[in-house]
Chains A and B, each alone.
Chain A
Amino acid sequence: MSVTALFVNSTALVLLAAALFRDRKRALAALKMAGKMFFSLLPMLIIIILLIGLLFAFVPQQELERFLGAQSGPLGTVLSAVIGAILHIPALLAFPLAASLLEKGASVSVIAAFITTLTMIGVVTLPMEIEHMGRKFALLRNGLSFLGALAISFLMGVLL
């Protein structure tokens, strides 16, 4: 078990014990909620793991480098930013995918653009954001986030 896993699990256990001690009923409700979340995220989890497996088993390194590597240039970065904006993957599941793409030869700025738009922009949730927050807020926030993501990915490429 990795250090991260050890840390996360022990923190969760301590919190759970404290919660059970303080309010048993609420703690059990929290556990039930966690179970529900697990089953609703399970299909996505399976998809990500299969995608990573397929990536390592079937995609040749030079092909991936051509589309996502340093040669892909600004176009590759913009493309991955757009894909990240459209896809709706929880960050918790997206990081392993991003890490495996990096390992396979994708460039830092491409992956930074992907992760940043993935977490900051939600095209799928845009109608909901407009409904709750207003059109101006939603469009401005998402538009500025896209520009910000491009700036971040450029800086990441320079710094790393």
Chain B
Amino acid sequence: VSEQTRLKKAKLIRSWIPALVLLLLSALLLLLKSRSREAFFGTIGTYTLEMVTIFPAVLVMMGLLSAFVSNQFIVRHLGEESGIRGMVLAFLLGTLPTGPLYIGLAEKRFMRPFAA
């Protein structure tokens, strides 16, 4: 196993620790206070359903966006020469629902040589 895959694995395991701790904590609380079980499961049922019906579709659209919109396209529309239109477009793109911030930051570094 190479160093890189080992690091990746360690990072993956670490990202799950808070979720598992919270899961154990919830289980403990529910065991101690059985009266709250109904409220707990009712609530998480509703939210899980909501997430399951919306989340995958949003991710598919994000994947399509990054696979089909080329970097040249972005540079052309958001670069220095794009002017006011580029600014408006950047503003609109930024209001898209998801796109974790760090993706945006990485793209900016990529665009720096192109004087975006």
Write the residues of chain A forming the contact surface with B, with a CB cutoff of 8 angstroms. Answer: 1-2, 4-5, 8-9, 11-13, 15-16, 19, 22-23, 26-27, 29-35, 37-38, 40-41, 43-58, 90-92, 96, 100, 122, 125, 128-129, 132-133
Contact = CB atoms under 8 A, between A and B. Distances in A.
A34 B60 contact: yes
B39 A57 contact: yes
Contact of B67 (A1, A8, A11, A33): A33
A2 B50 contact: yes
B97 A91 contact: yes
A12 B57 contact: yes
Contact of A27 (B36, B51, B64, B97): B64
Interface string B53-68: 1111111111110111
A55 B36 CA distance: 11
Secondary structure class of chain B's binding surface, majority of residues: helix
A63 B57 CA distance: 37
B18 interface: yes
A1 B37 CA distance: 25
Contacts of A22: 68
Q: List the 8 closest A-B pairs by CB distance, nearest first.
A: A34-B63, A30-B67, A57-B40, A12-B57, A30-B63, A53-B44, A57-B36, A5-B53
